[in-house]
Structure 1
């Protein structure tokens, strides 16, 4: 009979991870956990302590700091797989999961299904011939070396790629492998896992190739399985039900999707909303039940395409995503840096990216050409971003796979600040108070279109007091709005004072905050 060792990659929500491990192992299966070393050490301690007495749970012997698109995700998976191989000699199958996955069938059904299908389940399609990649770079993922994280260091990532293109630094793909691509959610037999681990030890050339490719979690296992396993023993599909919206983001399931999920021809589903408590409770109970019948209709993908298609042609009978998704999420943190001098806030945001793992977005509601990822067109104009602000923010949280986000805003955006503070999310404001010289105000007037290069000195002198009072007035309005979490750092204050406010705003150690506060020429023009 099949015995499943679940390979869980996770980085947050320790209580949810504990519950997931207890549910899946209660039916006699196993779990090997890799918890991101970049995450809160206290969360990992909580998980280790809670599961210490469970003999069916083990942990990766070595934890790595994971980043989206990096080799670290594959290395973390390999570390957890090796731990499972060592700890569970009778495990017959190894099933890749994330913290957002939940079983949509019983353990009894899953074991019977795997016993009746002697195959590896993994999406595995030819990298160059298939149309699996819909947008973005394709061949460049492989033929150039990628050494920095695209999401944390976007400018550097594309600068390095452009330099390699200009210098002709293409590299060859190992000649004896045919690169494949597919979903990272797979279920592999023990023999296949053992072959993969042995391959990693004897083929350092292939390992080095994938280590410096981009998004290798979509190509590494997919390629090796095709290389090592007869084609007749591979089913090119995932056993985890997931759908993607037109924006390329995973569709999230809620309480009213229970019957829909059970009807799909899959063993697990991803992503379950953290707020879908009733759905999680029902699915949690389901896994341990026995003699449950399932009516497989498998209409999920077609139904989703139909309903979203009605929306596109104006015949929808429900709200659009940006109208329905009216909250950012109860457990998400939005940290807003408010500053009239945009270059100062951008400088602060750049250093935040270096010292913390929290993504920072610069003036997305103020600057038409703000650096934003492709969100299906919603990011294309200021008007659209502002009108659908909460949907935009939800997509950014999902894109960066984070619950904490920093955005920069101009102090004139009081209405936006009030709207975000009315949400259920955790919202904080840091106002950066700068000194304004006459030259600063003249530059500000020109950006606003109130003055040009030929505007006379007398006109400018008459305008300056009004501009200065306007900036002060905007700050007063923010101060008088009664925001519960409002911090302020000032160019006038010493770094030690500003560090205390930065530590409070970002919930970071004081030494990190002090390093931020002492950033060289932080307030310089």
Structure 2
């Protein structure tokens, strides 16, 4: 059975570390601790005194003063790994942790998981070909030497960089090394750890190279594992669940994240808030439990993206530069049908096409496949349609030789609706208010990637209020915008009421509006 040696790098809160060490070793696993040399000596003394009688805990032989982005983090890790390998010969796996990490599965589950497949778990992507680095330096991290810390010695850091760049003092990557990059939270087998330690003793050239790269904890182990271990024995992912904000900062987890964490395909999670005492208590009890079963749905990151990638709620007060000299035309009318259920809006505009001569275009700003005429390429990609939205609409008016045009938009496109609402043309908005059954919401959650066919029903039940509230929020924002020519067509209203709404929106005779509103199965799913 798997036995884990946890490699813990920490720098604060010795009491929390003591609890973490006792909890993780109670199930028969091990822990090797490195306590940052920058931290108070009294804290380190208390830590050693509290854990001296625990035979499953050891400490790195030398404390290192660690700094973010420095080689010191890798040096501290190597020292702690070496101490663990020497002290715990029965350890089969070495798992990298921080003081902010906690187990989100039971020890029993973790051991069975690691026994299931003989491989190393480490995220390792091609350094140059992957898009792991989103912004900032890439090649510069490697080909220049970095002796100063960018956060604490910014002036020296950039002065050294500029000098090397000016003088052309670049260096080559060791010829037999293919640099990889990935998360520093890995789980490696014993033979992999032993191979890395042996390589580090033998290849001083590679060690010198990484020692002056920038942020080597994202490249050193990731590169060496790929260099030393066959590809089929590596699973390129981390077993630690973590999320990042748009600003690249780790998302902090609190008491109400318990159920979400248990459903993730991971063994640990980071970063648990120090104030989440109830979450820490419940996860500690869980780790020691037996017979616990877990329904893995893995919706955590997609749910976070769903809630945060909506964009800012504030209005845009100035037009884009490409729109300042353009207007749809004062004499034109733009009729916008806003509906979350796209199939309902498409059914409605198809009926309008049948009984009126108004050109209707479906979700041109939402669906790449929306049928559009050839307008010289401006319609070819979603990016072009959004960037040149007014030029696109003017060309559509000209193509159809009309002064009135109907388009469909999703309620999430409030920025587009507001843009067109401020145009000199007459803009009318019809919001189609539908009822959302649980079955529809479940389907929507699957379409946007929040759930899958194997997502447990209990997880879906937790997601439904979030999805429903999000749709309600989108509708509320449209009403709060207080558009001058706003109408609402509601599924729950009688056909006669909806016909009067359509009569005003379309400026058509009452009989024509009645014919449209009376269409069979208009709101059916």
What corresponds to 2:300 in structure 1? 300
Task: State how far apart, in whole Å, the 2-side matches of 1:264 and 1:227 are.
Answer: 30
What corresponds to 2:131 in structure 1? 131
Task: State how far apart, in whole Å, the 2-side matches of 1:166 and 1:305 are.
Answer: 41
1:119 paired to 2:119: yes
Task: State how far apart, in whole Å, the 2-side matches of 1:243 and 1:207 are.
Answer: 31
Q: Deviations over 1:288-317 (max 9, x none)?
A: 1000010111000100000012353569xx
Superposition TM-score, scaled by structure 1 size = 0.59
Task: State how far apart, in whole Å, the 1-side matches of 2:57 and 2:145 are.
Answer: 36
What corresponds to 2:7 in structure 1? 7
| Count of residues paired in the alignment | 315
Task: State how far apart, in whole Å, the 1-side matches of 2:285 and 2:180 are.
Answer: 37
What corresponds to 2:48 in structure 1? 48
What corresponds to 2:62 in structure 1? 62
Q: Deviations over 1:63-90 (max 9, x none)?
A: 1100000000000000000000000000
SS of aligned partner of 1:5 = strand
Alpha-carbon distance, 1:117 to partner: 1.3
What corresponds to 2:79 in structure 1? 79
SS of aligned partner of 2:9 = strand
Task: Give unpaired runs (5+ residues) of structure 1.
Answer: 316-525
What corresponds to 2:432 in structure 1? none
What corresponds to 1:96 in structure 2? 96
- The residue correspondences of 1:70-469 to structure 2 (distance < 5 A) are 70-312=70-312
Alpha-carbon distance, 1:151 to partner: 0.5
Alpha-carbon distance, 1:187 to partner: 0.0
1:34 paired to 2:34: yes
Task: State how far apart, in whole Å, the 2-side matches of 1:273 and 1:170 are.
Answer: 42
SS of aligned partner of 1:310 = coil
Superposition TM-score, scaled by structure 2 size = 0.59
Task: State how far apart, in whole Å, the 2-side matches of 1:105 and 1:65 are.
Answer: 32
Alpha-carbon distance, 1:230 to partner: 0.1
> Could you say which structure has the larger radius of gyration?
2
SS of aligned partner of 2:58 = strand
What corresponds to 2:523 in structure 1? none
SS of aligned partner of 1:80 = helix
SS of aligned partner of 2:310 = helix
SS of aligned partner of 1:188 = strand
What corresponds to 1:426 in structure 2? none
SS of aligned partner of 2:5 = strand
Task: State how far apart, in whole Å, the 2-side matches of 1:284 and 1:45 are.
Answer: 25
What corresponds to 2:461 in structure 1? none
Q: Deviations over 1:79-123 (max 9, x none)?
A: 000000000000000000000000000000000000001100000
Alpha-carbon distance, 1:155 to partner: 1.4
Alpha-carbon distance, 1:135 to partner: 1.3
Task: State how far apart, in whole Å, the 2-side matches of 1:242 and 1:117 are.
Answer: 23
Task: State how far apart, in whole Å, the 1-side matches of 2:40 and 2:259 are.
Answer: 36
What corresponds to 2:511 in structure 1? none
Q: Deviations over 1:357-400 (max 9, x none)?
A: xxxxxxxxxxxxxxxxxxxxxxxxxxxxxxxxxxxxxxxxxxxx
Q: Deviations over 1:309-366 (max 9, x none)?
A: 2353569xxxxxxxxxxxxxxxxxxxxxxxxxxxxxxxxxxxxxxxxxxxxxxxxxxx
Alpha-carbon distance, 1:266 to partner: 0.2
Task: State how far apart, in whole Å, the 1-side matches of 2:154 and 2:125 are.
Answer: 28
Task: State how far apart, in whole Å, the 2-side matches of 1:309 and 1:153 are.
Answer: 34
Q: CA RMSD in A?
A: 1.0
SS of aligned partner of 1:118 = coil
Task: State how far apart, in whole Å, the 2-side matches of 1:76 and 1:276 are.
Answer: 28
SS of aligned partner of 1:297 = coil
- The residue correspondences of 1:488-499 to structure 2 (distance < 5 A) are none
Task: State how far apart, in whole Å, the 2-side matches of 1:314 and 1:159 are.
Answer: 40
SS of aligned partner of 1:287 = helix
Task: State how far apart, in whole Å, the 2-side matches of 1:36 and 1:148 are.
Answer: 18
Task: State how far apart, in whole Å, the 2-side matches of 1:178 and 1:247 are.
Answer: 29
SS of aligned partner of 2:288 = coil
What corresponds to 1:490 in structure 2? none
Task: State how far apart, in whole Å, the 1-side matches of 2:202 and 2:309 are.
Answer: 49
Alpha-carbon distance, 1:22 to partner: 0.3
